[in-house]
């Protein structure tokens, strides 16, 4: 009983001490927060809010390539058959639309939340599709089985596709009035961007042997889907705003977004005949999927951008 009473007394004393600490520190924390916000505003001006919409070009990022190789005659001895190629992936300039709002604590400092969406084409000139097929044929007149080698290089069409990006940014903003109708600003912060897209065409070849050891082949164009991935990055931009009338301003901006590498493993979307462009049979699609061992694709999405838009100040 004495031990229980002693524990209860200790809990009671602890609660009293915590209540005193809370009563003493709560006003202090409130004072510190108020002083911080006041210092952030810094000029005695009341908080203000503005929202904006901006559109402009997003410049190309670094070029890349995608290599693919597979065995068109798996399990055959002697081994050595292959089909291989390299697709060029050169991102071009695209468009970017952004909208959001900025809360200014005073005249100069603010915090901004925005959302953006855009896309850019990717593609480039490709090297030939390189194909080697080893097999055993029995040709007249003696029909004696013999190892046969069939090699060729096919001029391959340019790669095409697109990368779509969407996400948001959280930035701190500092602005400086130059006159009553002109302001300049610097903004910087974090970005969260999701990206995905499509790319084509990889090559695939199906082959079969006819009479007298003749080899028949059929080439296909493989279209790829690039699954979405989310990247964290940083952004910095310079801005100039010109008053158009009343609370409406024109904003011009130039910025740079640095993100991590977009890394994803492509998936087969569809397969078309090389010559007729008809969709291949489901069996051919399954065959391509079983032969391919698609490797991860890596692409830098860091880029510079420019924009112009309208700002509405409340």
Q: What is the DSSP string of 36-78?
A: HHHHHH-S-PPPEEEEEEEEEEE-----EEEEEEE-SSTT-SS
**For 261-277, how does the pLDDT look when each residue is reduced to its tens digit (9 = 90+)?**
899 999 999 999 999 99
Both tokens of residue 288? 């391509």
Same domain, residue pair 79 and 202: yes
Task: Taking residues 251-267, report their average pLDDT.
Answer: 94
**For 216-233, how does the pLDDT look when each residue is reduced to its tens digit (9 = 90+)?**
899 999 999 999 999 999
The number of folded domains in the chain is 2
**Cis peptide bond upstream of 201, omega within 30:** yes
Cα(15)–Cα(9) distance, integer angstroms: 10
Same domain, residue pair 108 and 37: no
Q: Which residues pair with 303 in a beta bridge?
A: 257
* pLDDT greater than 70 at residue 38: no
Provide the pLDDT for residue 1: 36
Domain CATH code at residue 239: 2.40.160.20
20 pLDDT band, cuts 50/70/90, is very low
Same domain, residue pair 152 and 209: yes
210 pLDDT band, cuts 50/70/90, is confident
Provide the pLDDT for residue 27: 58
Same domain, residue pair 96 and 8: no
Same domain, residue pair 162 and 14: no
* pLDDT greater than 70 at residue 11: no
57 exposure class (CB count in 10 Å sphere: 0-12, 13-18, 19+) = middle
22 pLDDT band, cuts 50/70/90, is very low
Same domain, residue pair 30 and 87: no
Same domain, residue pair 241 and 272: yes
Percent of the chain with pLDDT over 90: 67
Same domain, residue pair 36 and 154: no
Same domain, residue pair 49 and 183: yes
Higher pLDDT, 57 or 208: 57
Same domain, residue pair 12 and 83: no
Task: Taking residues 185-214, report their average pLDDT.
Answer: 91
Same domain, residue pair 31 and 79: no
pTM, to two decimals: 0.79
Q: What are the φ/ψ torsions at residue 172 (nearest 5 degrees)?
A: -95, 145
Same domain, residue pair 29 and 50: no
Provide the pLDDT for residue 43: 58
Query: Residue 35 sits in which domain range?
Result: 1-41
Count the helices and strands in the chain (H runs, E runs).
2, 15
* pLDDT greater than 50 at residue 59: yes
Q: Are 42 and 109 in contact (CB under 8 A)?
A: yes
């Amino acid at each position: 009983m004495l031990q229980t009473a002693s524990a209860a007394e200790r809990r009671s004393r602890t609660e009293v001490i915590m209540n005193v600490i809370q009563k003493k520190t709560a006003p202090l924390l409130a004072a510190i927060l108020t002083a911080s916000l006041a210092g952030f505003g810094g000029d005695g001006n009341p908080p203000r809010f503005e929202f904006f919409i901006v559109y402009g070009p997003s410049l190309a990022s670094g070029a890349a390539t995608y290599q693919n190789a597979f065995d068109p005659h798996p399990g055959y001895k002697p081994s050595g058959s292959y089909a291989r190629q390299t697709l060029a992936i050169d991102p071009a300039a695209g468009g970017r639309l952004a909208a959001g709002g900025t809360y200014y604590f005073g005249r100069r400092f603010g915090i901004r939340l925005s959302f953006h969406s855009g896309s850019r084409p990717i593609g480039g000139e490709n090297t030939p599709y390189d194909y080697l097929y080893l097999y055993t044929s029995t040709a007249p007149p003696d029909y004696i089985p013999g190892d046969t080698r069939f090699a060729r290089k096919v001029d391959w069409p340019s790669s095409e596709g697109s990368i779509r990006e969407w996400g948001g940014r959280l930035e701190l903003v500092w602005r400086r009035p130059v006159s009553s109708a002109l302001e300049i600003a610097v903004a910087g912060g974090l970005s969260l961007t999701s990206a995905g897209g499509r790319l084509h065409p990889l090559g695939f070849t199906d082959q079969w042997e006819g009479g007298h050891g003749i080899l028949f082949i059929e080439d296909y164009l493989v279209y790829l889907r690039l699954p979405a991935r989310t990247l964290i990055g940083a952004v910095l931009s310079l801005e100039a705003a010109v008053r158009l009338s009343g609370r409406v301003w024109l904003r011009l901006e130039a910025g740079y977004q640095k993100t991590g590498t977009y890394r994803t493993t492509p998936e087969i979307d569809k397969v078309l005949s090389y010559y007729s462009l008809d969709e291949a049979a489901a069996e051919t699609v399954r065959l391509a999927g079983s032969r391919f061992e698609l490797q991860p694709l890596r692409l830098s999405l860091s880029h510079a951008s420019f924009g112009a838009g309208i700002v509405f100040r409340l």
